């Protein structure tokens, strides 16, 4: 999942209500397991404004899968 943003503001990634650390604006999950499934939220804060997007990720099957968006 990749987010393009204009200059300024802070970008946050949240997984199932918990803030996660990413080194860039891009969140990549390789070889996803059921634990990586759930709700991902990306939030951009700038000044007193914020924009949010929620993504529901479901991992199915018994084999590992590579998930890249």
pLDDT digit string (tens) for 12-44?
899 999 999 887 777 877 777 888 889 999 898
Q: Is the pLDDT of residue 48 over 80?
A: yes
Percent above pLDDT 70 for the chain: 77
Give the C-alpha separation, 18 to 12, whole Å.
10
DSSP assignments along 5-37, one per residue: --SSSEEEEEETTEEE--SSSB--EEEE-GGG-
Residue 5 maps to a domain: no
Residue 4 maps to a domain: no
Q: What is the per-residue pLDDT for 21?
A: 87
Q: In this structure, what CATH number is given to the domain that contains residue 35? A: 2.60.40.10
Residue 35 maps to a domain: yes
Residue 1 maps to a domain: no
Structural domains of the chain, count: 1
Question: What is the pTM (predicted TM-score) of this model?
Answer: 0.70
Domain assignment of residue 54, given as a range: 10-67
């Amino acid at each position: 999942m990749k987010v393009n943003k204009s200059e300024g503001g802070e970008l946050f990634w949240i997984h199932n209500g918990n803030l996660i650390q990413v080194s860039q604006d891009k969140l990549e999950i390789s070889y996803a397991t059921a634990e990586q499934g759930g709700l991902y939220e990306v939030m951009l804060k700038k000044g007193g404004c914020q924009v949010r997007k929620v993504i529901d990720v479901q991992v199915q099957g018994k084999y590992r899968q590579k998930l890249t968006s």
